[in-house]
Every structure is written in structure tokens, then in C-alpha cells.
Structure 1
Amino acid sequence: MLSATHRATEQFLLSHKPQRNITMTDTKIKKIKDDKEPEATFSSKEQELIALYT
């Protein structure tokens, strides 16, 4: 839920910031961030589960 809320907030802020040209670099940086977030979230949850059950 936090992740969904975070994404919604990020989208809101992105859509309301001053307009400027979106460069290819911006797109690549955003894609890298999007690719890394789920992995980090998953491993953090995985660590919590391991801590719970050990």
C-alpha cells in the first residue's frame, strides 16, 4: 500500500511541477528507478518474513 501511495504521490508531483522538455536521460533515469524499486521492496519484505519465522 505504501508503494502504491508513494507512486501516486510521485505522479501527482511530476504532473504539477513546472513544464519542461523531457529528455531521453530523464526517461532512462525514471526507468532505472522503477526497475529497482520492486526488487528493493521485495527483498525488504523477504527479510522481514525471514526475521519473523527464524
Structure 2
Amino acid sequence: MEDKLLVIAKNSSPNASPVQLSVVSCQLSVVSSQLSVVSCQLSVVSRGEAFGR
């Protein structure tokens, strides 16, 4: 997923249209939200293990 974003960022020229920029920023926000969900799940799992001991 991040590799695709890098390719998009490299392919977009300096004078990229606002639509292209908004699409890239939207994809970045989606990726960051996915990462936050994963980190939240990891913290829940680690808490569960702590309670299990």
C-alpha cells in the first residue's frame, strides 16, 4: 500500500492538479487510520496478555 503511494507521489508532477493531490492525501489518511487501528489492536492484545499472567 505504501509503495503505491510512493509511486503516485513520484509520478505526480510539481504542478499536479488539486484533484490528484487530494486523492493522494486521502489515501495517506486511510493508511494512517489503518495503522492506528493496528496499533490499537496490538495494545489491546498486550493488555490481555498482561491480565492473563
Q: Once superposed, what is the RMSD of the aligned Cα atoms?
A: 2.6
Where does residue 51 of structure 2 map in the other structure? none
Normalising by structure 1, we get a TM-score of 0.53
The runs of 4+ residues in structure 1 deviating greater than 3 Å are: none
Q: Deviations over 1:17-51 (max 9, x none)?
A: 4x6x6222211101111222222101111101101
- 1:48 is matched with 42
Report the counterpart of residue 24 of structure 1 in structure 2: 18
% identity of equivalent residues: 5
Aligned pair count reads 43
Uncovered stretches (5+) of structure 1, i.e. residues with no partner: 1-5
Gap regions ≥5 residues in structure 2: 49-53
Higher normalized contact order (CA 8 Å, seq sep 6+, divided by chain length): 2
The TM-score with structure 2 as length reference comes to 0.53
Q: What's the secondary structure of 2:16's corresponding residue?
A: coil
